[in-house]
Chains A and B, each alone.
Chain A
Amino acid sequence: MKRLRVPLRHALLSLGLIGLCATTAAQTPPPGRLLASNCFQCHGTNGKGPGFDKIAGESPDEIYKKLREFQSGKEGNGIMARHAMGYSDSQMRALSAWLSTQR
């Protein structure tokens, strides 16, 4: 029985969140989230680090503008520039919009 303590405690601690979970349990993934998750390997889960620059929570226009700069070669010919060249304009818009919701 001793081993049950940890999961039970976890379960009890999270009881207060049940209501929250139930209301946010929208199982339709938000637009842009899966696309934006391509950023997480280098910029951290939800763009919040650890890793290279944190990219969460800026305005959609700021993130998009930055991506465009990389894509156009203005930021040089580094790994992020070449990476940005792999996305369409609408994909960059969609992932920027989702990243801006992460604060």
Chain B
Amino acid sequence: MKRRDFLQRSNALLLATSPLLALADDDRSERRRRRRTETTPQPVPQPIPPGAARHRVIVVGGGMAGATVAKYLRLWGDTVEVFLIEPAASYTSNIMSSLVLTGQRSMSSLSFSYENLFNAYGVQVLTDTVTAIDPITCTVRLASGEQLSGDRIVLAPGIDFDPVPGLGNSDRMPHAWKAGPQTALLAQQLAAMPDNGVAVLTIPRTPYRCPPGPYERACLLADWMKKRKPRAKLVVLDANMDIVTEKDNFTKAFLGLHGNVIEYHNNAEVLSVDPATMSLTSRAGTIRNADVVNLIPRQRAGALVALSGLANATEGRFAAVDNLSYASTVAPLVHVIGDASATNQPKAGHIANQEAKVCADAIIRAFAGLAPDPAPVTNSACYSTITMREASWLTAVFQYDAVTRSMVPATASSAASSGWNGDNFEQMGTWFKALMGDSFS
């Protein structure tokens, strides 16, 4: 393709689809002024000058992984043109979203704009849906009818849910596991629950998004119930044989601190539900007439991964990738990062951000004819709410192991806090702000 055609085509695409350009100029400059005074990292690379692009990467999905890889490809790759394609106009954070259920956070506090990726880094953000990819020619087809080709595709579509037998299209048993309307809905249902109501929270079989997430949500809701629904009960149906992470803290919290509210069942995978009677049948028995059901189904990579033939791991649920570059093991020009890939690393936002950096670095090296860094390191850190004011923490560093070609947790670094406290809860706020800043601005 000639350079001129290339540029003309991208301009045409921008004109057709980018919402960022449609804002009034006054509004934009005002926002930009405000942002400059508020955020610390100075924009490093400028939007790519005409004619300077030597390579193009198409990023599909604007979550933690997708936003970070788009930003770092521009930050670290002067001559890399980056398109980020995402159907939503802004990102809603899953991290911290359980605090919406207890009224401690607003939905708007979880919303992150893509504007800074454009303004500060020159990422071309298209609000559109990718309907298909060609992994050989690196072409993506968009719902708007456009096609876009590049040198690499990075897929970061997150997760999709398995259908639950009996659920249909009912909204009476929300997952609230992709933050958004379902989060607000579950918050309403909890608020409307009678004082002596029964709520049910179900935990899917691993691997699922955010391993400690359902347990911390259970703890948080239990604490909220003590204050707001004093005679209510929370039944936790865990599909797994045991608490899957941070076992000491969650065991203590479930049996001790929240023992009068939480009723925990392991090996209790949900087999079917009936929203009309608010009933669930699980391996551990049947529950009828629940007041609220937070049904978190089993998970797989976003549909595009399987549609593209890349879901070749974890019983066809996730994408096997080269852990040095996140290139698919069956399509070397297509990288899969974040929750959609199958690695030893947890599916969670903090480590998805680091996978994205490893991927960006490997792509930039590949464009220069270089092999990926042979010893990448990634890290995971998070805080779990044990009460409405106290949290625990969990961390691990992952080192590449050349023998197994996989990321292996460094034993000494894999740890959780001994108990929970208010300082950790405060630090959780700092961590969230830093992580979102590193991913979106």
Residues of A within 8 A of B (CB): 3-7, 10-11, 13-15, 17-18, 21-22, 24-25, 27-29, 33-35, 37-38, 40-46, 48-52, 77-79, 82-87, 91
Contacts and interface: CB of A to CB of B under 8 A. Distances in A.
Nearest to B72: A37
A11 B354 contact: no
Specify which of A25, A29, A43 lies most central, judged by the most chain B CB atoms within 10 Å of its CB. A29
Most chain B beta-carbon neighbours within 10 Å: one of A27, A44, A77: A27
15 contacts: A3-B14, A3-B15, A4-B15, A7-B14, A10-B47, A17-B49, A21-B78, A29-B76, A34-B357, A42-B435, A49-B434, A51-B431, A83-B395, A84-B413, A87-B413
A25 B18 CA distance: 28
Interface string B407-438: 00110111101100000000100110111011
A51 B430 contact: yes
B353 interface: yes
A28 to B, nearest CB: 6
B78 A24 contact: yes
A41 B413 contact: no
A85 B395 CA distance: 11
A58 to B, nearest CB: 17
B148 interface: no
Nearest to B370: A28
Interface in B115-130: 122
Nearest to B119: A10
B377 A79 contact: no
Interface string B152-175: 000000000000000000000000
Interface of B: 11, 14-15, 18, 20-22, 25, 28, 39-41, 45-50, 52, 72, 75-79, 122, 350, 353-354, 357-358, 361, 364-365, 367-368, 370, 373, 376-379, 381, 393, 395-399, 409-410, 412-415, 417-418, 427, 430-431, 433-435, 437-438
A29 B28 CA distance: 34
A79 B381 contact: yes
A7 B21 contact: yes
Closest 9 pairs (CB-CB, A-B): A86-B397, A51-B434, A86-B413, A14-B46, A85-B412, A27-B368, A86-B410, A82-B415, A25-B78
Contacts, number: 160
Given A34-B357, A51-B433, A41 B76 contact: no
Nearest to A37: B357
B40 A50 contact: yes
A51 B437 contact: yes
B46 A41 contact: no
Nearest to A95: B377
A22 B357 CA distance: 23
A11 B357 contact: no
A49 B435 contact: no
A10 B434 contact: no
A14 B22 contact: no
A82 to B, nearest CB: 4
B434 A11 contact: no
A92 B234 CA distance: 45
A38 B364 contact: no
Contact of A41 (B11, B20, B39, B434): B434
A29 B20 CA distance: 31
A40 to B, nearest CB: 5
A11 B40 contact: no
Given A3-B15, A4-B11, A83-B395, A40 B361 contact: no
B426 to A, nearest CB: 11
Residue of A35, A46, A49, A79 contacting most chain B CB atoms (<10 Å): A79
A91 B361 contact: no
Nearest to B415: A82
A59 B24 CA distance: 45
Name, among A6, A37, A50, A52, the residue most crowded by chain B CB atoms within 10 Å (CB to CB): A37
A44 B47 contact: no
Contacts of A52: 427, 430-431, 434
A34 B49 contact: no
Contacts of B435: 41-42, 51
A87 B397 contact: yes
A82 B412 contact: yes
Contact of A27 (B22, B122, B364, B410): B364
Contacts of B437: 44-45, 50-51
A78 B433 CA distance: 19
